[in-house]
């Protein structure tokens, strides 16, 4: 018996497709068979049956996929700890906090449209991505699966998970927390029930939006990196005169935020707040951010005695780099924030929300003050434009070679960590190829509109030399 996946489904960081078109129960079953087989082989010497935690988000298609996935895992000889519906970080918690659990799979479409779904996987404490995911495809095509029989245990860990989130406030004086007034928007995503339980336990005053889980997302799309999706949260903060507001994506692993004046606090700006708080307790720590982050973030980390490290975009790549460097804090522009100082090193937007409360309390400044103290950089949103799959990486290579040539001025620096990030006296610009779509991503930042204009001109010149032009699609 074998199985062939649609070629668009097995991606760099996760597995994702359109229900009924490119993804269905047979795919879920094959993922379970492949993952279970790899787990069995990895634990062969230990002569014990592996245990895999399984959770799912609030999408309409998730329970059907969960049933098939569990079938695949158990028929390959894995025991399953089924934690039910909840945010992705609750699944990560189930895997990280229990010694007897060897891996985890969350069924989630994250921030994608309602007709999408997918899988995020953890294998023995490390991210499962890239070649790992391609291996599942090869195993399925060859029917390279072991047979066995596993058990299924249903476990409710929501209270235990919420209890762990609250540890972030340990050691902070109660009077610094009781005056906090915070708005929260779950966006009808999977974080809703956990957020309700959390808010009841948090000190201060908390106002919640859209905590009822609804896979059709009737109020707004659950992607907090798109400014339009923060309008309801902004209105709540303004109407109730709250200190700040926090929003989640569909599966609760990415955070968005607005301050008391309704200003968006983007992913790199949140990381600036977290870094200042953390470096007061862990001087000299390495703080990692992706190549799309503002120069102001890297400067802030250095100013507060930390070691800034620019790394590749992608939550799996960042998690791996954290383990390699021992970094206690990392983040991406997309709102994934990873804490490994007093937490497990995975991206958890609910925990990040509690850590924002903790940071403001410890630093003795409101979130609005912290946002207002940041330098005024002028930057573009993330611009994405379609480029043929066969051209996207080649074009970036061409641009990198040109920008590294001998005719480039001495005050221009080129960083090729992920694509091409070029720093000039005006600021910086970035071009990189997406790992998950047939697009190039561009971004630029300067201290002046004139400088930004010159940077954008350089991007357009380099694209033109490679026979490409920038489209008008843009998103933060």
Q: 349 near 253, Cβ under 8 Å? A: yes
Q: Clarify whether 110 is annotated catalytic.
A: yes
The first and second tokens of residue 304, run together, are: 């507060």
Computed on alpha carbons and rounded to an integer, the radius of gyration of the chain in Å comes to 22
**Residue 310 backbone phi and psi in degrees, to 5:** -85, 130
Instruction: Classify residue 282 as exposed, middle or buried by CB count within 10 Å of its CB (0-12, 13-18, 19+).
Output: middle
> Is-contact 285 327, C-beta < 8 A?
yes
DSSP-derived letter for residue 298 is H
d(CA 80, CA 101): 9
Distance of alpha carbon 157 from alpha carbon 82, whole angstroms = 10
Nearest to 266 by CA among 288, 286, 240, 296: 296
Q: Which of 61, 62, 76, 110 is catalytic?
A: 110
- Rounded to the nearest 5 degrees, what angle is found at the Cα of 299, between the Cα atoms of 431 and 382? 30
Helix or strand holding residue 393 (H, E): helix 389-403
Residue with tokens 């040539």: 405
Q: Are 162 and 201 in contact (CB under 8 A)?
A: yes
Which of these, 378, 360, 392, lies nearest to 443 by C-alpha position? Answer: 378
What is the rounded CA–CA span in Å between residue 416 and residue 421?
Answer: 6
Those residues whose C-beta lies under 8 Å from the C-beta of residue 86, and which sit 6 or more positions away, are 55, 57, 158, 161, 190, 191, 193, 194, 252
Tokens describing residue 461: 């010149």
**Cβ(192)–Cβ(199) below 8 Å:** no
Structure token pair of residue 418: 């992920």
Name the residue with tokens 């935690």. 53
| Angle, helices 267-279/349-363, rounded to nearest 10 degrees | 50
Coil vs helix vs strand at 386: strand
Tokens of 432: 């990189």
Q: Which residues are catalytic?
A: 110
């Amino acid at each position: 018996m074998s199985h062939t996946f649609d070629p668009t489904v097995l991606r760099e960081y996760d597995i994702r497709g359109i229900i009924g078109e490119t993804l269905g129960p047979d795919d879920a079953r094959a993922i379970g068979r492949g993952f279970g087989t790899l787990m069995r082989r990895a634990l062969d010497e230990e002569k014990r049956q592996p245990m895999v935690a399984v959770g799912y988000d609030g999408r309409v298609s998730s329970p059907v996929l969960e049933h098939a996935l569990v079938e695949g895992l158990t028929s390959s000889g894995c025991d399953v700890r089924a934690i039910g519906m909840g945010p992705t970080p609750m699944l990560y918690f189930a895997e990280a906090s229990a010694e007897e659990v060897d891996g985890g799979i969350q069924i989630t479409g994250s921030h994608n449209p309602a007709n999408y779904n997918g899988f995020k996987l953890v294998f023995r404490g490390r991210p499962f991505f890239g070649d790992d995911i391609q291996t599942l495809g090869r195993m399925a095509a060859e029917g390279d699966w072991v047979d066995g029989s596993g058990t299924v245990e249903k476990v409710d860990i929501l209270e235990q998970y919420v209890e762990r989130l609250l540890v972030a406030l340990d050691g902070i004086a109660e009077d610094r927390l009781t005056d906090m007034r915070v708005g929260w928007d779950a966006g009808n995503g999977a974080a809703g029930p956990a957020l309700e339980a959390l808010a009841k336990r948090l000190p201060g005053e908390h106002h919640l939006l859209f905590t009822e889980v609804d896979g059709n997302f009737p109020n707004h799309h659950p992607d907090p990196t798109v400014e339009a999706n923060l309008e309801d949260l902004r209105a709540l903060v303004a109407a109730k005169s709250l200190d700040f507001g926090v929003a989640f994506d569909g599966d609760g692993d990415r955070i968005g935020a607005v301050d008391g004046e309704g200003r968006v606090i983007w992913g790199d700006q949140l990381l600036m707040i977290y870094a200042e708080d953390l470096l007061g307790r862990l001087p000299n720590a390495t703080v990692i951010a992706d190549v799309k982050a503002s120069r102001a973030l890297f400067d802030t980390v250095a100013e507060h005695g930390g070691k800034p490290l620019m790394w590749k975009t992608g939550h799996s790549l960042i998690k791996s780099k954290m383990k390699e460097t021992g970094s206690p804090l990392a983040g991406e522009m997309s709102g994934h924030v990873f804490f490994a100082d007093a937490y497990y090193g995975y991206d958890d937007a609910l925990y990040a929300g509690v850590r924002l409360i903790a940071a403001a309390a410890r630093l003795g400044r409101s979130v609005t003050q912290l946002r207002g103290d940041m330098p005024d950089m002028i930057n573009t949103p993330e611009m994405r434009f379609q480029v043929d799959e066969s051209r996207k990486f080649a074009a970036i290579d061409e641009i990198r070679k040109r920008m590294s040539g001998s005719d480039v001025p001495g005050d221009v620096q080129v960083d090729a960590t992920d694509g091409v990030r070029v720093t000039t006296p005006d600021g910086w610009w970035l071009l990189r190829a997406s790992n998950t779509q047939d697009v190039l991503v561009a971004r630029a930042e300067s201290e002046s509109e004139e400088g930004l204009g010159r940077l954008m001109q350089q991007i357009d010149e380099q694209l033109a030399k490679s026979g490409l032009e920038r489209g008008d699609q843009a998103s933060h």
